[in-house]
Amino acid sequence: MKKISFLFLFIFQALIVFGQADTAQKIIPGRSNSKEQQDKPYVIMISADGFRYDYAEKYKADHLLALANDGVKAESMIPSFPSVTFPNHYSIVTGMYPSHTGLVINNFYDRTLQRFYSYKGPTASEGIWYGGTPLWVLAEKQEMVSASYFWVGSEAPIQGILPTYYYKFNNATPIGQRINTVVDWLKLPAEKRPHLITFYFPQVDHEGHKHTPDSKEVENAVHFIDSAVYQLTEAVKTTGLNVNYIFVSDHGMTTVDTAHAMNLPAIDTSKFIVSGDGLLVELYAKNVKDIPTTYERLKKDAKDYEVFLRVNMPQHLHYAKTDDWHNRIGDILLIPHWPKIFVLGKYKPDPGQHGYDPEVVKDMHATFYAWGPAFKPHTQVSQFPNVDIYPVVTQILGLSNTEKIDGTKHVANEVLKK
């Protein structure tokens, strides 16, 4: 196993978020697996935030590569647009693009609710913001117990349902304790044992933002996750259960031009609500009559960025048509060209960023590895959209889904044993 510096482990195992971290496990009482579900397989879905498609090879993540080579390895996985954390984690577990789940970006405005959503605020745990049916909701509806050691949406009662076992996000709990919790879940009696477990690592994304993808800090973070995944798989073996693993990331990371970061063009805030981030700025008109003239002016003056109306967004982005109750994509959208970035607020942007169109910027592509008894051995597949993971998991767990999703069974047919 690779050695990890004591300082690095200390930082990420002892880091406590601002204020009092809530590290207590939440348990929904009265839940159990039906007799039929007790015999179903097990899936642990692991997300390493910001783990770019090429990081394992680039930084020689030997354990991950060995596990992937024994199972399934994708050339890359294509994130949904915008290629940022909350929409993509949620697309992975719903099989739907952000415009169809309503979680359209990390921060946005809802015209109907007349409220802002913030991924860092209390809105993250309010069910009203989340459309679609996450995998744990689908499982619980069919009397299959689920558990989450962090995932976007797992703290919110979506359709009134939470995972049976879950935690509120914090950085306080050491990785060893998190692994022990997963093992404890899998050692529960069959009627209480979760068949779907989600698990999340933030380290690579954090270091990528601060130090860029080519930094020693990112290399160390990749090695940390490589070792932690190995520890997890070895610990799970002690349960005697034959578990399936899916290792994914939400997006990649690239280096941006912070020396020439762009200020926003003049926008009349008496006529428009401004939201978004440095790679996608959304303007919500207070009166639709103001849209045409503002759009034409912005488009005429645009340099190093594109200006779109919501109705003329490029089709491949799947970022225009929304259900009425979502109503969350701006009327006018500003999208910088790579490696340009807008400055929003008073702080200089980090040198590492994500959010660009993954069809244009390959650095946005994410990772997909999978191994376990359900997966074909020694299989490599070409790149695919992250919404295709949903049918893979439902097929392994034997869950029925009659709702319309954007994902297809193409990848499931390629990677799963018949």
The DSSP annotation for 160-175 comes to: TB--SEE----S-S-H
Indicate if 405 and 308 belong to the same structural domain: no
CA–CA dist 16, 68 (Å, integer): 32
Burial track 278-295 (b if 16+ CB lie within 10 A, e otherwise): bbbbbbbbeeeebbeebb
Residue 125 lies in a domain: no
- pLDDT for 19 beyond 60: no
CA–CA dist 254, 212 (Å, integer): 7
Residue 339 lies in a domain: yes
Indicate if 81 and 203 belong to the same structural domain: yes
pLDDT number for residue 196 = 99
What digits encode the pLDDT tens for the residues 114-148? 999 999 999 999 999 999 999 999 999 999 999 99
- pLDDT for 244 beyond 90: yes
H helix count then E strand count, the chain: 12, 21
Residue 56 lies in a domain: yes
Extract the tokens encoding 389: 């993971």
Indicate if 269 and 374 belong to the same structural domain: no
Indicate if 252 and 268 belong to the same structural domain: no
Indicate if 264 and 224 belong to the same structural domain: no
CA atoms within 13 A on the CB side of 53: 20
Q: Which residue has the tokens 């959208």?
A: 333
pLDDT number for residue 362 = 98
Domain extent at residue 77 = 6-96+132-256+359-415
Percent of the chain whose predicted confidence (pLDDT) is above 70: 94
27 forms bridges with which residues in the sheet? Answer: 165
Separation in Å, CA 101 to CA 98, 324, 333? 5, 12, 19
Residues in CB range of 330: below 8 A, 6 or more apart: 109, 275, 276, 281, 282, 283, 284, 310
Tally the domains of the chain.
2
- 101 and 132 Cβ atoms separated by less than 8 Å: yes
Residue 215 lies in a domain: yes
CA–CA dist 198, 256 (Å, integer): 31
What digits encode the pLDDT tens for the residues 349-391? 999 999 999 999 999 999 999 999 999 999 999 999 999 999 9
Indicate if 230 and 368 belong to the same structural domain: yes
- 271 and 287 Cβ atoms separated by less than 8 Å: yes
Q: Which of 48, 46, 16 is nearest to 218 (CA)?
A: 48
Indicate if 58 and 140 belong to the same structural domain: yes
Indicate if 340 and 309 belong to the same structural domain: yes
Residues in CB range of 38: below 8 A, 6 or more apart: 190, 191, 193
User: Region 267-271: what's the mean pLDDT?
Assistant: 97
- pLDDT for 17 beyond 80: no
Indicate if 275 and 379 belong to the same structural domain: no
> What sign has the CA pseudo-torsion 134, 136, 139, 141?
negative
DSSP string, 183-218: HHHHTS-TTT--SEEEEEE-HHHHHHHHH-TTSHHH
Domain end among 321, 350, 379: 350
pLDDT number for residue 2 = 43
pLDDT number for residue 257 = 98
CA–CA dist 327, 285 (Å, integer): 12
Residue 244 lies in a domain: yes
- pLDDT for 7 beyond 50: no
- pLDDT for 211 beyond 60: yes
Domain end among 323, 350, 377: 350
Residue 320 binned pLDDT confidence (cut-offs 50, 70, 90): confident
pLDDT number for residue 83 = 98
- 236 and 182 Cβ atoms separated by less than 8 Å: yes
Extract the tokens encoding 233: 């798989």
Residue 107 lies in a domain: no
Separation in Å, CA 100 to CA 104, 116, 233, 331, 407? 8, 18, 34, 17, 12
Residue 113 lies in a domain: no
Indicate if 171 and 80 belong to the same structural domain: yes
pLDDT number for residue 299 = 97
What digits encode the pLDDT tens for the residues 66-98? 999 999 999 999 999 999 999 999 999 999 999
Indicate if 228 and 157 belong to the same structural domain: yes
CATH code: domain of residue 165:
3.40.720.10
Element (H, E) at 285: strand 280-285
Instruction: Please indicate whether residue 59 or residue 1 has the higher confidence score (pLDDT).
Output: 59
Separation in Å, CA 194 to CA 42, 152, 297? 8, 18, 55
pLDDT number for residue 8 = 44
Residues in CB range of 256: below 8 A, 6 or more apart: 338, 339, 340, 341, 349, 351, 352, 353
Give 64's DSSP letter: H
CA–CA dist 72, 406 (Å, integer): 22
pLDDT number for residue 291 = 97
Residue 139 lies in a domain: yes
Indicate if 276 and 243 belong to the same structural domain: no
Phi, psi of 22, deg, nearest 5: -95, 105
CATH code: domain of residue 339:
3.30.1360.180
Residue 6 binned pLDDT confidence (cut-offs 50, 70, 90): very low
Domain end among 329, 350, 371: 350
User: Region 251-262: what's the mean pLDDT?
Assistant: 97
